Amino acid sequence: MNVYLDYAATSPLRAEVLERMLPCLKENFGNPDSLHAYGRRAAFLVTEARDRIAEVLGVRPNEIYFTSGGTEADNWAVCGLSQDGGVLASSIEHAAVLTPLSRLPRCAVCRTGEDGVLSPAALAEALSGREISLVAVMAVNNETGVIQPVPELAAAAHEQGALFFSDCVQARCCDLKALTAVCDAVSLSAHKLGGPKGVGLLWVRKGVRLSPLIAGGEQERALRGGTLNVAGIVGMAEALSLARSEREAFISHTRSLRDAFEAHILSALNGEARIDGVEAERAPNLSHITFARGGEWLLSALDLRGIACSGGAACSAHAARPSHVMLAMGRTEEEAKRGVRFSFGQETTAEEMRFAAETVAEILRERR
């Protein structure tokens, strides 16, 4: 049996999304900036998609900027919202936030607790005495699934006069309207939701100044030049709409799979596995487990048995480094190399979950 348990890296394109996209790839192929009928039709599809997304997020359509994905949106937020001021981010952010952050002249990182949560009190203390213009804290960690207290963190940032940006790429389980209600900017990526790869967005609240990202075109209010990905944008709107309507079913289904998976692993391995972030509120579809005998060999062994999972963020899969998220949570470098992330989707079945759990336990028992 082949089992895909890496939905946090990417999810398969949904049939409903593909159906919406196909006309954009065939007959409605025009450039949305062209003035003729082909262009007007494409422009209408983009406007329609932008309106649909705005409704899902509870925001204004002209506050949405389309990007090539979550990484671009994160980079743009960090560099485009800081306005030469100081930027403070949590220690568990995705590399798409931490890497551009490290290149800024004034930046700081705030450590989370051992449960992977950044407390509002810790953020307030880190902000005290610093001139910070932007705070960046992701809504859901992409490795552990730990959910951050975004409303309280945003309030702490605003109290100190700073903007608050949240990477919401993994926040499928969250109420996105509730997040945009308290944040100043949010990033999303379509392919984490059953949409196409190569498209994402950055939402920025009206009145917040955003520096241009790409020069050379008038697209996206002259802030990001380049011909828009019409099919991708239309697909993202459909994927977001579906994710919103199916949110409760998604939470229920993936939580039951994750909980049963973790229970089987813990029982079968008898103290040789630890669930990371279990002390905190977690996204229902993610499980990060540190094994006593884990490592890259385990990922390879699982792959040979037909099970697809990862050691953390897909963007860092080829880097033989310990997880910076695990290090931030107080793990040793050796421990931070032994974690495996399993992530479930709507398509995952109970049979697949059981097979995967039994296979993990069998491989590790053989390793003894």
Q: Which one, of 102, 115, 88, 98, lies nearest residue 326 by Cα? A: 115
Look up residue 329 and give its two tokens: 């949570």
End-to-end Cα spacing for the chain: 24
Beta bridge partners of 109: 89
| Cβ atoms < 10 Å from Cβ of 130 | 12
DSSP state of 291: E
Cα-based angle 253, 259, 261 (whole degrees, multiple of 5):
100
Interatomic CA distance for residues 118 and 100, integer angstroms: 21
Distances (CA, A) of 147 to 138, 288, 340: 8, 13, 18
Look up residue 295 and give its two tokens: 């490592």
The answer to whether 315 is a known catalytic residue is: yes
Q: Which one, of 87, 200, 63, 75, lies nearest residue 136 by Cα? A: 87
Give Cβ neighbours of residue 364 (< 8 Å, ≥ 6 apart): 269, 272, 273, 291, 293, 298
Give Cβ neighbours of residue 362 (< 8 Å, ≥ 6 apart): none
Give Cβ neighbours of residue 69 (< 8 Å, ≥ 6 apart): 189, 190, 191, 197, 198, 199, 200
The continuous run of DSSP H or E covering 165 comes out as strand 163-167
Look up residue 282 and give its two tokens: 């977690």
- The residues annotated with a catalytic role in the active site are 315
